[in-house]
Amino acid sequence: MSAAFTAVVSIRKLLTHGTTTHLGYGVAAAFAGIVGNQLVARYKFRVGRRIQSATLIADARHSWLDALSSAGALVGIVGVASGWHWADAVAGLLLTGFIGHVGYEVTSDLLHHLMDGVEPGMLVAAVDAASNVPGVAHAHARARWMGRSLVVEITGFVEPGITVLDGDAIGAQVESAVRAAVPEARTVLWSATSRSA
């Protein structure tokens, strides 16, 4: 909706040779928007990464986009003040493209997360970590997101005849190794199966 509104206003201003007024207020508001939204975006992104919140990270990108929009508005206003009456409208059209691009990226990331999408590198790291634990001949991993929690399930192949106690001890080592290799993992589930199974 923001992109559509920006595009309509910019095109109308270009076609009707509209003018931009109150340049001083516009510069002050744009500068405040740049600084304020950058600070908010950095804070949201830092907290979102720490608590593994895809929604908060997406909101941080939205705040970053607001800062970028303010920067575009500032460039347009400075252009108008320099005598280019069309600069504000052209800056608005460029911002329309940025808004659409960032909106697409944010939506794609959120949908990937909602569909339990996990980065392949996380699975590779989990398999490598589990396979390097003594007693594990081979391992498979799968993972899914449950809200902000990443659940990693490890199936480890062990020697036939291993005791339940030894299997649990191996599982505890696997859990520690996987948590170290994949810091995003909140839960690691271990399942042992015989190599001959």
Domain co-membership, 42 together with 17: yes
Please tell me whether residues 43 and 80 are part of one structural domain. yes
Does 185 score more than 50 pLDDT? Answer: yes
Domain shared by 21 and 110, yes or no = yes
150 or 124, which is more confident? 124
> Are both 102 and 141 inside the same structural domain?
no
Question: How high is the pLDDT of residue 129?
Answer: 92
Task: Please tell me which residue, 19 or 43, carries the higher pLDDT value.
Answer: 43
Verify that 84 and 52 share a domain, yes or no: yes
Are residues 91 and 127 both part of a single domain? no
pLDDT of 18 reads 66
Mean pLDDT computed over 35-62: 85
Tell me the residue range of the domain where 24 lies.
Answer: 2-114
**Across 45-65, average pLDDT:** 82
What is the Cα–Cα distance from 2 to 69, expressed in whole angstroms? 11
What is the pLDDT, as a whole number, of residue 90? 84
- Let me know whether 18 and 45 are in one domain: yes
Query: What is the mean pLDDT of the segment spanning 184-196?
Result: 81
**Residue that terminates a domain, selected from 114, 129, 149:** 114
pLDDT class of 195 with cuts at 50, 70, 90: low
Count Cβ atoms below 10 Å from residue 154 Cβ, excluding itself.
26
CA nearest neighbour of 27 among 72, 74, 69: 74
Q: What percent of the chain has pLDDT over 90?
A: 12
Average pLDDT of every residue of the chain: 83
Residue 196 has pLDDT above 70, yes or no: no
Distance CA 90, CA 30 (A): 16
Q: How many domains does the chain have?
A: 2
Q: Report the pLDDT value the prediction gives residue 197, as an integer from 0 to 100.
A: 46
Cα torsion 191, 135, 163, 177: sign: negative
Domain boundary among 92, 114, 136: 114
Q: What is the pLDDT of residue 52?
A: 75
Instruction: Read off the pLDDT of residues 128-145 as tens digits, 9 standing for 90 and up.
Output: 999 999 988 889 898 888
* 8 and 99 co-located in one domain: yes
Mean pLDDT of all residues in 115-119 = 76
Based on the fold, state whether residues 124 and 110 are members of the same structural domain.
no
Pair (93, 141) in one structural domain:
no
Would you say residue 102 has pLDDT above 80?
Answer: no
Residues 70, 127, single domain; the answer is no
In this predicted model, which residue has the larger pLDDT, 174 or 83? 174
CATH of the domain at 161: 3.30.70.1350
Token digits of residue 187: 């839960």
Q: How confident is the model at residue 39 (pLDDT cuts 50, 70, 90)?
A: very high
146 & 99 share domain: no
Q: Where a domain ends, among 69, 85, 114?
A: 114
Region 101-115 average pLDDT: 77
